[in-house]
Amino acid sequence: MSDFDIFSNLALGFGVALSWQSLLYCLIGALLGTLIGVLPGIGPVTTIAMLLPITFKLPPTSALIMLAGIYYGCQYGGSTTAILVNLPGEASSIVTTLDGHQMARQGRAGDALAVAALGSFVAGCFGTLLIAAAGPPLAGMAQQFGPAEYFSLMVLGLVASVVMAHGSVLKSFAMIFFGLMLGLIGTDVDTGAMRYTFGIGELSDGISFVALAMGLFGIAEILRNLDGPESDRSVLGSKVTGLWPKASVLREALPAVLRGTGLGSVLGLLPGGGAVLASFAAYTVEKKLAKDPSRFGKGAIEGVAGPESANNAAAQTSFIPMLTLGIPSNAVMALMVGAMIIQGIEPGPEVMTKRPDLFWGMVASMWVGNLMLVIINLPMIGMWVSLLRVPYRLMYPAIVLFCCIGVYTLNNSTLEVVMAAAFGLMGYGLMKFGFEPTPLLLGFVLGPLMEENLRRAMRYAQGDPIVFVERPLSAVLLAIAVILLIIVLLPAIRKKREDVFVE
């Protein structure tokens, strides 16, 4: 048990996180994340997909610290413009516009911004503490897993991602199946035979994860933004004052911060859940618990404190299944897994034992990053809002250029640039027809791992598939997956689920 001594591990982590190199990349990630959160139509998935080629040249710990900073920095940045100009930069900040912008119109923008920042900081610290506390036991348990258990766990993860995904269940399953099929392209690890490469030598290692991610989430998102009218970005005219709220405001917001933190911490663990679902759920809870629900939508401080705490807590705890089990819970975590694979690190429980500096350095950097975000965000509000004056038509050519350069420089392959463009068109088409691309990416990431564990389990069992239900833990995981599937396919549940997502 001494190996999992939380204090010595955190001491190791802070030793890594407080080095000048880690601090630099943490600051870059936090600043970039805030910027992306402020600017609508980009988002953390697109940004991380664009930056994957850069991480190839960085040390693994620095690369992952920077990518993590981008993710939770987006949760901070999105609240700034949601409150000041009624324009959510990040999807999880949509709920914040309801009461945050009303507070700004009433001259209480300073209170709203400060409560959002402090609530996010409290939630981020708690989420990070949860990673530090829950990580070692989960990783220790996962080390007892055999191939059958890993396969069943991945099946459960994919089924759960369907349950939590927006839109049709059938469309989500189609996306997962398509992602699994794309993961089969390349060289068979057992026989060395080429599969579905159509004689193209550059596909012998499979489809480029960077090209797929950048196309589906980078280029497709640009096409979607260009398809609609450009938003009227009227910047708040009056100067924001009172960035340190009164004690009475903090007392009023504190219960909502604590409830949002707890709710977000749980929902962040769920596949497909994450920050967006957490912020909506926290707002619903606050409205249900309020003595006067009619205040919501008219400038209720709880309507800012709860969702902003929840989305940041969820952003932090979504790292737990990725770091301890190697199972991504959302598209951002799938990209993080991709970054680890690019760096030659196999995601899973062995990361904690083989690379403790990486694991605990990332955990400690989240504390550092959350503190940086509070310090840098409030004084820079004016600068962030002024960026909204830049028309999107001037921004997107630069984004496309960086996407193409990033894809090309990874392997000096023009084919991968063409593939990114093709996946971009495909992603745009999927969005237009109501298909969510996230399950596709999860299927693509987990597909090769599922195949490997399926084959190993079948070899150990001499071809007998009963091994998946003979082993107790594997049987339990499969049973949960089947129960989830039955529940979500029930007509009444399916209708209720669709209504919730529409709302």
Look at the block and give the residue holding tokens 């759960």: 160
Split into its structural domains, the chain has a count of 1
Sign of CA dihedral 339, 343, 347, 349: negative
Residue (of 76, 138, 31, 49) closest to 359 by Cα position: 138
Q: How many residues does the chain have?
A: 503
Query: What's the CA gap between 46 and 51, in Å, rounded?
Result: 9
The residue written with tokens 């990033």 in the block is: 406
C-alpha to C-alpha distance for 128 and 122, rounded to whole angstroms:
10
pLDDT of residue 493: 59
- E strands present in 347-503: none
The encoded tokens of residue 475 equal 């049987």
Between β-strands 186-187 and 194-195, what pairing exists: parallel, antiparallel or unpaired?
antiparallel
pLDDT score of 2: 44
| Residue 124: both structure tokens together | 């981020």
Which tokens is 341 given?
């694979």
| Other Cβ atoms within 10 Å of 266 Cβ, number | 16
* pLDDT at 3 (0 to 100): 45
**Do 377 and 26 touch, CB atoms closer than 8 A?**
no
Tokens linked to 430: 């999927």
Cβ 151 vs Cβ 450: under 8 Å: yes
Residues (pLDDT < 50) of the chain are 1-3, 232-238, 500, 503
Distance from C-alpha of 313 to C-alpha of 275, rounded to nearest angstrom: 8
**Rounded Cα gap, residues 268 and 283, in angstroms:** 16
DSSP 183-248: HT-EE-TTT--EES-TT-GGGTT-S-HHHHHIIIIIIHHHHHHHHSPPP------SPP---S--HH
Domain range for 360 is 2-502
